[in-house]
Amino acid sequence: MHFLRTHKNLIPVVLLAALSVYTILMVLFVPVYQDGEAYQRAFTPAHYGAFAAVLLNLLAYFFFRPFFKPVLLLTLGLTLFSIINFLPDNVRFNFGFGDVGVGFSILGLGLVLLYYFLNKPAAHAFINQRITPTPTHEQAAKRRRKNIDQFKQNFARKSDASLQLMLQERKVLPDALTAARELLQDRQMGPKL
């Protein structure tokens, strides 16, 4: 399990390598039958591109680690748009408006989703950093104050001893610590009139 956690980004590449081996075996040894006649399959430029992409990804992962993620993302993008193909046949769905159409590989979409779920925290951080607007200082202060007030409501029934223990152990969020500290200060100053 530790191996999978440390090398989780290699999972899509291993899957693509297995699909490449499957494609090679299918093209070389399994003919296509049409109207009762057997025809030999042939590799396409998309297949050669896929084989080269697997090789580049493996080289990048083991020898040039800083380049691995960009190479893998490029591979996933090329697969998604059916520019490279890891399967014997090109399986995709198309969206079209008149003469203009866009096709997506089902395998590419599945691989993009797999890579997303393997790297969900990093993907969310990337999206939040690039897409979500950064709150202003005032907005952040209001949000923090709201969180502190919510924690104060939740902690209102706790005893002074449990609040002190919470402050000593520091096992809660910073806003919760601030709320506990403020509650203790309010209790020491006495009831408000």
Domain ranges of the chain: 2-95+102-130, 137-189
According to the model, what pLDDT value does residue 128 have? 78
According to the model, what pLDDT value does residue 68 have? 92
According to the model, what pLDDT value does residue 1 have? 64
According to the model, what pLDDT value does residue 192 have? 56
SS3 32: strand
Length of the chain: 193
According to the model, what pLDDT value does residue 101 have? 73
Sign of the torsion angle spanned by Cα atoms 176, 179, 181, 187: negative
According to the model, what pLDDT value does residue 62 have? 92
Eight-class DSSP state of 93: E
| List of the chain residues with pLDDT < 70 | 1-4, 191-193
CA distance 122 to 53: 24
pTM of the model: 0.61
SS3 97: strand
SS3 38: strand
CA distance 116 to 118: 5
According to the model, what pLDDT value does residue 78 have? 92
